[in-house]
Structure 1
Amino acid sequence: MTLADRVSTHHEVRRAEHTTIRYTASGPVGGPTLLLIHGWACSRSDFDGVTRHLPAGQRVLAVDLAEHGASRSVREVWTMEEFAHDVAAVLAAESVSTAVVAGHSLGGAVAVEVARLLPEVVTQVVALDALTFLPLFPAMDEERAEATMRGYRTDFATAVRRAVEDGSPAGTDPERVTAYYEKMVAVRQPAGTRALEGLVRWDMDAALRATRQPITVFSVRALLAQEAVDRYRDRLTIVPVDLGSHHFPVEAPEATAELLVSVVG
């Protein structure tokens, strides 16, 4: 199908007095729902290319997390659990009874928390190059968490540049690396840094123990450590892919859509 075949509409939902979440909906109301969550310092527009390649009968909701993209918030809490409440508000506004939730990078952590929050609604979780980064997971002790965040607090631009480069395998187009860096370094503050801290302090192992739904992880082969596969093989279905960098949903949208359909279908 072409982009013209899939009509997208833009919506917003208000959470209490502190947060307005904006999202895009496409596909038939009442169709099987796939909800897409972007990564840290990114936005729902990262999934525009993916969405145009999904089946016409698929209902797709793409969410901007608080203080990302067009969503805004003045709240004080920036945990993965709080982001999950943002997503839950969208599902409630859309009267969704069942959904597959897919998240890229930090969005994968949020997707797990949405599944934990809404066990009767979320049937499966899909993580796009998420949940397998051992420098972040399992949960850090206070000393390591502080050391990780210190670099972002003292020289945010350099820390972001390093993170983007770490997610770019050999052969990645340097112009792409620069484009990702320029987008991510412009994340709204102070929420951007605090959201990253929420990820650093997230206890993934505890979240996985509390989540019953199946979780499929599509990981960039060049970035996937065997130690992560060995550690989580009993809980996660980890599928290595060769579709580009950490941001492969942007670089290979059609192939990413095929991966999602393989799970949703």
Structure 2
Amino acid sequence: MPPRSPLFPWSTSPDSVVAALRTAGCVFAEDEARLILAAARTPDELARMVDRRVAGHPLELVVGWAEFRGLRITVTPGVFVPRRRTEFLVEQALVQVPDASVVVDLCCGSGAVGAALAAALGPVELHAADIDPAAVDCARRNTAEAGGRVHAGDLFEALPADLRGRVDILAANVPYVPTDEVGLLPAEARDHEPQVALDGGTDGLDILRRVADEAREWLAPGGCLLVETSERQAPAAVEAFHRSGLTTRLAVSEELYAHVVLGTRR
């Protein structure tokens, strides 16, 4: 069991916070301490936040937000924390459909992808959807400024029917960890993020295939489906897109170790 923080309300100096985080094994203790100190409103809250971080809670859930493409995205307990590598999916979407006017963020989690796309594109019709009520609530907060409409439900069943054939960017950051490998994830993800946002089925591609199978009827002509996957799964993911009748390519960022499959309706 990780050690508890030595902090008490009368011992909440920056040096004490750094020492507690460093003792717990936080590699970037100084940077994390600055974020926690800035987020805490009282000494008692600071002590609780440090205790949570020392116990292994993700930093983003401790401070209540994650940075994503320059945006401060609210994240709450039980919601998937957006990863920096997913910024590559957003970048690819903007390159592929730079004049998009209708955007859907499917399996939206916190709504980070939809919020980032709207911020880059300007005024758009933004929809997001997730099966997890906690994610839906969080995404509503993060997409409110862009006028986003967030829907609860299973994939396309959650979306308004009048979106069929109108979607320019369909971003689906689906879960893609094989079921048997969820237990091998780092504790921050395994213990503090919802399994529904991680578990992609036997080979990790169950949800990806479902999305690919239905995407064509929702995409506008020239519209693009983008899904993140792993290097190992990429060939099978590309094949799933091909079978669905989409013009398909794989984009890779070596820097972010990100793999995104793109499928365009021609």
TM-score by length of structure 1 reads 0.35
What is the TM-score normalised by the length of structure 2?
A: 0.35
**Relative contact order (C-alpha < 8 Å, sep 6+): which is higher?**
1
